[in-house]
Amino acid sequence: MWFLPSRGRPHNLKRFIQAYKDTRATAPVYLWFDIDDPKLAEYQDLDVPNNWCVHVNGSRNLAEMMNRFVKTFPDAKYYGFLADDCVPRTVEWDRLLINAAGDWGISYPNDLFQGDKLSTFPCCGGKLIRALGWWGLPGLDRLYIDDALMAVGLAVGKLVYLEDVVLEHMHFGNRKAPMDATYRKTSHAEDEAVFRAWDVGRDLPRIRAAMKLAAAGKPQRKRAGRKAKGVKA
């Protein structure tokens, strides 16, 4: 399932929904809204596809949200991250990214901003994330999450960049969006310190052990979780 948090930008989400339809995407999307968002009513008025799920909560820590999402869907085949400032341009982008990630890899599209330099909007194999034990590096708020996932993908040799799959990043940094309150909420120094202190080598033994078990045909040990009712991941 794809995870898409949004705050203060119902107009962006409306644009994404249209692009989702235009590109014939079919994979379910899990929307996460803040309960204190002044524009929550506008979000709730949006016409979202029938296979999407809407969740309203109080947390604004992105890494924490991502990890809670994994606990909600502990058996998902994949975990894909989206943002409300991305616009899919490639037909069936969802299927292409999901297939490229497989069970143990991380695939990412061309965002027309960072390109292959950063795994923006990554799609991560479910077995990889379960072995890793997290999706958003614990301790981070909202920055360096994609850097950490990219490091994991590189370390296990399963990072796949799909240059021809475009999810355009309409970001203020490339002058495709205005600066707003959501962009201003940053914890750059704190997140950078957490990322620099982290060593991907500490997580590799768990991943390699799980991959070895999978190769031997043994089941991966499941982590406790709670699946949202009526939603297929």
Is residue 223 assigned to a domain? no
Is residue 158 assigned to a domain? yes
Mean pLDDT of 140-157: 97
Is residue 27 assigned to a domain? yes
Mean pLDDT of 40-46: 97
Is residue 12 assigned to a domain? yes
Mean pLDDT of 3-26: 98
Cβ(7)–Cβ(37) below 8 Å: yes
Is residue 229 assigned to a domain? no
Mean pLDDT of 76-85: 98
Is residue 231 assigned to a domain? no
Please count the structural domains in the chain: 1
Range of the domain at 116: 2-215
Share of the chain above pLDDT 90, in %: 83
Q: What is the domain-level CATH number for residue 48?
A: 3.90.550.10
Residue range 105-142, pLDDT digits in tens: 999 999 999 999 999 999 999 999 999 999 999 999 99
Question: CB within 8 A of 99, min separation 6: which ones?
Answer: none
Q: Coil, strand or helix: which one is 96?
A: helix
State pTM to two decimals: 0.90
